[in-house]
Amino acid sequence: MNRYTMGAFALVGFLMGCGSEAPPAPSTTVGEVVHPELPPLPEVSGLTPMPDLNPDPHIVEVDLVARPHAVQLLPGQATQLFNYNDQFPGPLLHARVGDRVIIHFRNDLAEETVIHWHGLRISDQMDGSPVIQTPVQPGASFTYDFVVPDAGTFWYHTHYHQIQQLEYGLYGALVVHERDFPVFSAERIFVGDDIRLRTTNNQISAFQTSGPDIGGGRVGNRLLSNGRVINGEDGDGPVTFTIPRGAIERWRFVLATNALSYGLRIRGADARVISTDGGLLPEAFALERVEIAPGQRYDFEVRPQADATEVVLEALVLVLDENDNVVEAPFVLARGTIEGETVTPEPVYPKVSLPATSVEAAGHEWKLSGGVVDGQVQFTINGVPSYVGEGHEHVLLETFEPNVPVKITLSSNVSPRHPFHIHGQFFQILERGGKPVFEPGLRDTVEVRGNETATILSYFENHGRWMVHCHISEHSENGMMADVQVGTQAAGHGH
């Protein structure tokens, strides 16, 4: 049985348990733990978790409010942002696979918004698509309610006027722990972002509607790590902490930029990739560096090296040098000083298998392109701009039969690259330029590089109407966004 079907069965089982056939109540006496089979969730350092208002260990119930919020990013004037719960990044939403999650959301912005739970294979009704969900008006509320079907590192973010609202800080991390999660000496989470601030007053600089900001996507002049400015003399510098020798830690990483992709590298430790967008890998792998694109995630297992004094997480970013040559430069996102000593039992990873890739699968093509129409940059999928400006309508690109493997070859012929995201589904990356690649694991976002093809394999097992789009906000909001339909019936409601 593969992971997909296991997840589906677990979900079905849970939903059934909510109905008439309630699961047998655990027999307890006063003072006993109600659910002794469930160990408490491990702490994930780096972001403040949302307080869980519901005492039921299988329900996470939280309040979330979006509103303007000023953050001291640099010395001098505080920067006006839009944040969730006055935190930047937003608070950590923390659950266990199979939990019901209820989010009481209130919009205290002066504009409409919706929240998308990026990577969660939930009902399309709860997915935060502005086509399905009427955007939440200023002052209005909406309750998101769903069961989390998969474990992994995910994130949530605005899906409305994303160019501006995402740049303004409407995002947060979402961690779903495995039922039998491996135990580490510590878990940490890092969210990478960039932001473009005016040098005169530290405010977010104006948004362009043409030129390189649209062509390639808006890139900042400051790099952020968990909301701290890490580059420049006046920044806060990297996230810092101490890590004992002998530690075995799990580091989760989310990239929340509008457009910037970069390399990730860990120095001073033996580090292995243990998880991608869709959860744990069947087999961890070590690499000098990995590439991460907007929307993607990685988890690393990190063991400080015997002769190292610090463990450093770096972003490898393309920048211009003083001669205007494009060069790659390292920026430290996080620095752990090695201090003290500990003994950590080997983490026990749950057994994971991925859906077979050696299957007969029909081939589909999605051509990502763009051009200038009437002086406006317009991005297209298979020649059609699907979402432009304010329109809350997406072209229906294709209809898929559920649970039938499909190969999709995405190609980019104009813009530099397109980190392409499919809502509500996972896929595997098979090929680039027609050649097999080693990019293991389940993904919900694949970076399609310029003048390249990338072939993915998806099973489309989650019914409903789903958005597919480039995760560069400037591309999706200027046309590179559509819907696909999986099956005929809508997905089950969140609960």
Residues forming contacts to Cu ion in the complex (CB under 5 A) are 418, 470, 472, 475
Q: CA 417 to CA 216: how far, in whole Å?
A: 8
Task: Please select the residue that binds ligand C2O; options are 3, 69, 100, 118, rule is CB under 6 A.
Answer: 118
| Minimum separation from the CB atom of position 422 to ligand C2O (A) | 9
Contacted entry of ligand C2O, Cu ion, none for residue 335, CB cut-off 5 to 8 Å set by kind: none
Task: Please select the residue that binds ligand C2O; options are 469, 474, 475, 478, rule is CB under 6 A.
Answer: 469
Count of residues that bind ligand C2O according to CB under 6 A: 10
Binding letters toward ligand C2O, positions 396-425, x by CB under 6 A: -------------------------x-x--
Say whether residue 159 binds ligand C2O (CB under 6 A).
yes
Task: Please select the residue that binds ligand C2O; options are 69, 116, 222, 465, rule is CB under 6 A.
Answer: 116
Q: CA 116 to CA 124: how far, in whole Å?
A: 10
The three-state secondary structure class of 379 is strand
| Minimum separation from the CB atom of position 294 to ligand C2O (A) | 8
Contacted entry of ligand C2O, Cu ion, none for residue 364, CB cut-off 5 to 8 Å set by kind: none
364: closest CA among 381, 378, 380?
A: 381
Contacted entry of Cu ion, ligand C2O, none for residue 116, CB cut-off 5 to 8 Å set by kind: ligand C2O
Contacted entry of ligand C2O, Cu ion, none for residue 98, CB cut-off 5 to 8 Å set by kind: none
459: closest CA among 100, 7, 15?
A: 7
Q: How far is CA 406 from the centre of its chain?
A: 23
Q: What is the DSSP string of 93-125?
A: EEEETT-EEEEEEEE-SSS-B-EEEET----GG
Stretch that binds ligand C2O, among 175-183, 355-363, 376-384, 463-471 (CB under 6 A): 463-471
The three-state secondary structure class of 69 is strand
Contacted entry of Cu ion, ligand C2O, none for residue 423, CB cut-off 5 to 8 Å set by kind: ligand C2O
Task: Please select the residue that binds ligand C2O; options are 157, 177, 218, 407, rule is CB under 6 A.
Answer: 157
CB 216 within 8 A of CB 415: yes
B/e letters for 236-256, b = 16+ CB within 10 Å, e = fewer, are: bebbebebbeebbbbbbbbbb
Dihedral sign (CA 298, 304, 307, 313): positive
| Minimum separation from the CB atom of position 244 to Cu ion (A) | 42
460: closest CA among 431, 439, 485, 435?
A: 485
Positions in the binding site for ligand C2O (CB under 6 A): 116, 118, 157, 159, 295, 421, 423, 467, 469, 471
